[in-house]
Structure 1
């Protein structure tokens, strides 16, 4: 077989390069698959814990993803270079809130806690978002409102316990209970009625709630102006109020979620999110 001449081969190469899509095919690494990944679960967890730390320790497994988010905020002139450090602390929270507000978001969607829509938009052309979390739509449990993620978590806790739990308070209730200090203003937070429960049963229920991904504590009248109940906040719910975010950060740091930031007085379990529980 006669080999093609150099000129013919060159002409063929030029013709191929002029075809639609040929440039993209010939240039590896330009498609979305080549972008680095931001693990949303890790970033959201860090955004709850890091602002409550007193030192420079980082949330395990979150540094690489947090750095990508901070670099994107830096590129938009929302974060100074010195704060691009892998810690999703108060300065990064404030910068992310500014970004959310620049997109037109308000209220819970502009709290600085990364939600799916704002995180994906921030990463356009820079990173892709994996391990996505969504709180889901709002639903009613009796007269109280919660979201579908919280409802699923509550259902699993009830399955583990073999009993139904009754709520004293739900989520999305801004100003509805002055004693809650705003923790119920957003999503992911419930109070469980403990009427008729023994001390041991209250602890058992709290343990089950913790197992499925709630930061949960038995509350008593000596701690505040409230009756006995179990307070539970869903870790990594992206609709959490700022106050609830702080409670979860304190929970990870071994504290009781109250204003005094005392030691955790609940049953000891391995702390994990709902998504981690499902994978386990």
Structure 2
């Protein structure tokens, strides 16, 4: 009959005069958080900014701070068979915008929701098991201002510009206005874009208003009748608004490249300020 061994390992080692082995630390389970932190991180702010600027560049210069994030997005689009390998280069040019728009449509999105600018939902879904998303942006809900429609992000930006100016701003035209003023060339079809009344403003006040708008993250210009078939007004497009129409995306990209946001692409004629987004402004104040 076999006798069951009941002597512990430590006692057995002591009996034969050898040191007991060190107890191994128990293995810790791998948590979902641990797995997530091992993935690359896509900075949404930088990625969306590159998607506005890069297609407007005359060359393949990369948007500063965006390369690794754009590369991760492009690699994911390539894995979806939406982007050829030759365009996986960290440059969010027209090919990448087109591919991202196709990805949005594959999710069932249409119209502004498939404008080629990464939104939080689509970007997060694209990144499943590939990357996580930081610095998320949201245009927010649609709200009313002066009888016009704007998104919550634009409303907050206008409110802060008013605080800087110490004056109320009145809208001549809001956002989400397809088929509106034909001279707007589609810039108001999506979110983030407004025209501001300059009634009662002198030249200095118009310039100060454009400056305050730029300070909070708008690409803003004073428009006069010599530039087009329109009255005096201030045109402002919220940089990085994920609902920007294609035409408005081009304007914000041109603003970063020192242009006037018009079809003639002449030099920027607005007040000079450090260019930044609304989120960057918030972090610095």
Q: TM-score, with normalisation over the residues of structure 2?
A: 0.90
Q: For structure 1, which runs of at least 5 residues remain unmatched after alignment?
A: 7-12
In 2, Cα distance between equivalents of 1:40 and 1:102: 20
Match 1:68 to one of 65, 72, 79: 72
Aligned counterpart for 2:62 among listed residues 53, 58, 63: 58
Q: State yes or no: 1:172 paired with 2:211.
A: no
Q: Does 1:181 find its partner at 2:185?
A: yes
Tell me the residue number matched to 2:106. 102
Query: Could you say what the CA RMSD is over the residues aligned between the two structures, in angstroms?
Result: 2.1
Aligned partner of residue 231 in structure 1, secondary structure = strand
When normalised by structure 1's length, the TM-score is 0.92
- Count of residue pairs brought into register by the alignment: 268
**Cα offsets for 1:18-65 (capped at 9, x unmatched):** xxxx7xx16999621221100000000000000000111000000000
**1:91 aligns to 2:76 (yes or no):** no
* Deviation string, structure 1 residues 148-197 (Cα, Å, up to 9, x no partner): 00000000000000000111000000011100000000000000000110
Distance 1:142 1:29 in 2: 45
Report the CA distance between 1:243 and its aligned residue: 0.2
> Aligned match of 1:233 in 232, 237, 243?
237
For residues 163 and 67 of structure 1, do their structure 2 counterparts lie closer, same or farther at Cα, with a shift above 3 Å needed? Answer: same
In structure 2, the residue matched to 1:223 is 227
Deviation string for 1:124-157 (max 9, x for gaps)?
1100000000000000002100000000000000
Match of 2:135 in 1: 131
* Aligned position for 1:202: 206
| CA distance in structure 1 between the aligned counterparts of 2:213 and 2:34, rounded to whole angstroms | 44
**What residue number does 1:3 align with?**
9
Larger Rg: 2
Contact 2:87-2:95 at 8 Å conserved across structures:
yes
Partner SS, residue 194 of structure 1: coil
**1:244 matches 2:248:** yes
| 1:69-102 deviation per Cα after TM superposition (whole angstroms, max 9, x unaligned) | 0000011111111100000000000000000000
